[in-house]
Structure 1
Amino acid sequence: MTTKSKQINIVLVETSHPGNIGSAARAMKTMGLSELSLVNPKDFPSGDANALSGNARDILDKAQVFTNLQDALIDSHHIFATSSRKRTITWPTYTPKEAALEIDTKLKESQKISIVFGREDRGLTNEELELANSLIEIPANPEYPVLNLAMSVQVIAYEIFQLLDFNEQIEWRDSPLATSDEVQHLITHFIDTAESIDVIDKSNPGKIIKRMQRMFTRLQPDKMETNFLRGFLAAINKQKK
């Protein structure tokens, strides 16, 4: 987790089923978030919450519990509220992806962000929504636009995760990339070999050569792969002789 992730507070309002709190904590942890606030949860702490949290018990253990939403938001600079219903009063409204971009900008300004999720059966009241600066609506099938609480947390947390540098970049290659010159020599070797065994008609190659060039350029082979392929092509040429 990064310092930025600690600036994001997930707030669950009057959650009725403790299992949903545990599942939400699990969704948070998989996406690098750790700060959880609970407003008047019906049953917490709870064995059901612990059971469904998986390895996110640490998030539950340090979750803050409040008696009202205003107290949970007291040190927030910007508040996003989630809503699935059209409201008579309009707020700036974002998709999760758009909201993540806004959040990323605000985190760079050292703002503390709260994202508020309502009750499982009826969401947030208009009075609670009025505490928010912006709304987040998750696009869904209009015939059945129903996501449970943990799913909603997961979708929004995922979009945030995509923008924040939670993970160190791990170099997966065990060999350096081939240089452009090495790739071009491989392409030439491949085309010469293909022509020598009549896979490509020299007199009428069509677009196949350009396609092969594009393929190898797109694949970005490493030095080991390039050397192996050139050895393979050399063996074909040797057999032909």
Structure 2
Amino acid sequence: MLSNIKIVLVQTYHPGNIGSAARAMKTMGLNQLTLVAPRSFPDNNASAMAAGATDLLECATVVERLEDAVSDCTMVIGASARLRSFPLPHFSEPDDMAHQVLDEARSGSVALVFGRERFGLTNDEIQCCTHQMTLPTAPDYPVLNLAQAVQICAHEVFNAWRKLPESDYRLQAPREAEKPTQAQMQAFFHHLEQRLDDAGFHNQPHARTFDRLRAVFTRAQPSKKELSMLRGMINALQSPTDESSRGEPVRQNPD
């Protein structure tokens, strides 16, 4: 399960934080590190702060966009110091997060996403996630260092994992319950938006209509089988114009 969990750092400014995060990961059995557009990497400061975890830096994946970092994931948890207004499932207790992460990691890839040192993740980046997470802190100073936040989450995941019965380590989820990846979910959202546009459904930008629709399906967490059914249903909802363009008969209203 632990090998299915990746830590994603978005636009990290200080390379030393990358090294410290790698060290935090390795002490807790995590080895999948992905960096999104880091300011400086590779970097000697990152290697120095990694101590004995330089192998994680050498194997780290570097991409330009968060979408690329999480495209293969079935669960994406965005860490934020404040709860955003997006109606996504939210973790406020790290141990609850850890147990759900392990459940998901039985059959799919999970990403824990951490933003920039100064202002964290943007709203657009939170929308790339399936869940939000805030870590409990003292209210008068609710600011965690990036590597500290990684350490807390990694520790909670490892602690939950080591308490599992040995028989659970290799337990796989039933195929019917397998979740789609974020790439598959994004393809579904594009398909849905295109079909709604074709049908004359007017998305009001100020009302964030399609954002709310995305949130509905994100919260529902459909399985791969259910997502395939939804896409088949969308394909079946062809307008008369679509049918006539394919040369198929259009049913006339007798009135």
Give the TM interval when normalised to the shorter protein. Answer: 0.5 to 0.7
Which residue of 97, 121, 130 corresponds with 1:99? 97
Matches within 5 A, 1:199-238: none
Which residue of 47, 51, 67 corresponds with 1:50? 47
Note the C-alpha offset of 1:166: 9.3
1:100 partner amino acid = A
2:172 maps to none
CA distance in 2, matches of 1:86, 1:57: 33
Structure 2: gaps spanning 5 or more residues: 167-255
2:80 maps to 83
Note the C-alpha offset of 1:104: 1.6
Answer with 1 or 2: which has the greater Rg: 1
Note the C-alpha offset of 1:88: 2.3
Matches within 5 A, 1:75-224: 75-94=72-91, 95-108=93-106, 110-165=107-162
Tell me if structure 2 keeps the 8 A contact 1:79–1:134: yes
Which residue of 56, 76, 89 corresponds with 1:59? 56
CA distance in 1, matches of 2:143, 2:160: 26
What TM-score do you get using the length of structure 1 for normalisation? 0.66
Tell me if structure 1 keeps the 8 A contact 2:83–2:134: no
1:6 aligns with 2:15: no
CA distance in 2, matches of 1:48, 1:141: 30
2:138 partner amino acid = N
1:134 partner amino acid = H
Q: Specify the SS of the correspondent of 1:23.
A: helix
What TM-score do you get using the length of structure 2 for normalisation? 0.62
CA distance in 2, matches of 1:22, 1:135: 25
Root mean square deviation of aligned Cα: 1.8
Give deviations 1:9-33, integer Å, cap 9, x for gaps. Answer: 1000000000000000000001110
Tell me if structure 2 keeps the 8 A contact 1:32–1:166: no
Runs of 4+ in 1 over 3 A off after TM superposition: none
Give deviations 1:153-190, integer Å, cap 9, x for gaps. Answer: 000000000111399x9xxxxxxxxxxxxxxxxxxxxx
- Aligned pair count reads 165
Note the C-alpha offset of 1:105: 1.3
2:101 partner amino acid = I
Structure 1: gaps spanning 5 or more residues: 170-241
